[in-house]
Amino acid sequence: MPVARISGYVEERWSSAAWWSRRVAVFAAFVGAIAIATHRFGLIETIPFFWVLALVAALAGCALLLAAAGFQRVWHAGDRGGADLTIGLIVATLLLVPYALAAWWAFSHPALSDISTDLDDPPGLAAAATFRTAGMNAITLPTAEDRALQTKAYPELTGRRYAVSFEQMTAEVEAQMQGRGWRIVSPLPADGVETTIEALASLPVLAVDYDVAVRITDEGNAIYVDMRSASRYGNRDMGLNAGRINDFLTELDARANALAAPAPPEQ
């Protein structure tokens, strides 16, 4: 804790609020970094990790309030501590920006956590069901309200038909999943008619897991592909599942078009 000091004949008063603001903000940043690192390495479960992130937000908020109190003393009473409150203000603001963005994304998207291109018969998540615990979202079929919300919010999310072979599409989907760092968790049946490939996807920084399934069906004259992405936690996915499906299928469109394109004539 800073104390008053004498410089010549003038007493220099230090703002304790500014002093605490810097220390609380730096401590919050340290706790957040440690929590993210330990979660990525599997040393802390996801739900306790969320509680630690909530603590980080609370500490950052406290640091911001202390910086505001310190500013009053520094500006109006002439206390020292401008550097402390500046550091506290900057660090706390940087910590709180991701929370503000997450809150905005959450409430600007519908309350959905399981998105599929087939709302009547979504691709199965049989393997994912074996990994989900009591603290995670249950795997269920979409309700009528869910279907209405998704149709309104993401009308572009539909299945795709491709003029390639069943084997080619299966190989492309598997390669694309692996290229994105997703871990395939289901076997690949080789009946040549229909298969569902399940994978585990994670957020790049927070390492929060999502379950993904891609169903490939041979319709005879074309290959039909449906996709599903489901959050393990929470009832609002901030649009991440729809974005994941859209990005994956857009890339798959390009891959399939390259496979189906005729070979250039020989020179």
**Which tens digit of pLDDT belongs to each residue from 152-175?**
999 999 999 999 999 999 999 999
Q: What is the mean pLDDT of residues 175-198?
A: 87
Calculated CA dihedral for residues 183, 188, 194, 197, nearest 10 degrees? -10
> How high is the pLDDT of residue 257?
87
Coil, helix or strand at residue 40: helix
Reading phi first (left if > 0) and then psi (alpha if -120 to 50, else beta), residue 220 is in left
pLDDT over 70 at 14, yes or no: no
pLDDT of 188: 66
Q: What number is the average pLDDT over the span 124-147?
A: 93
Residue in this structure with the two tokens 């310190």, named with its chain if needed: 70
State the pLDDT at residue 189.
Answer: 63
Q: What is the pTM of this model?
A: 0.86
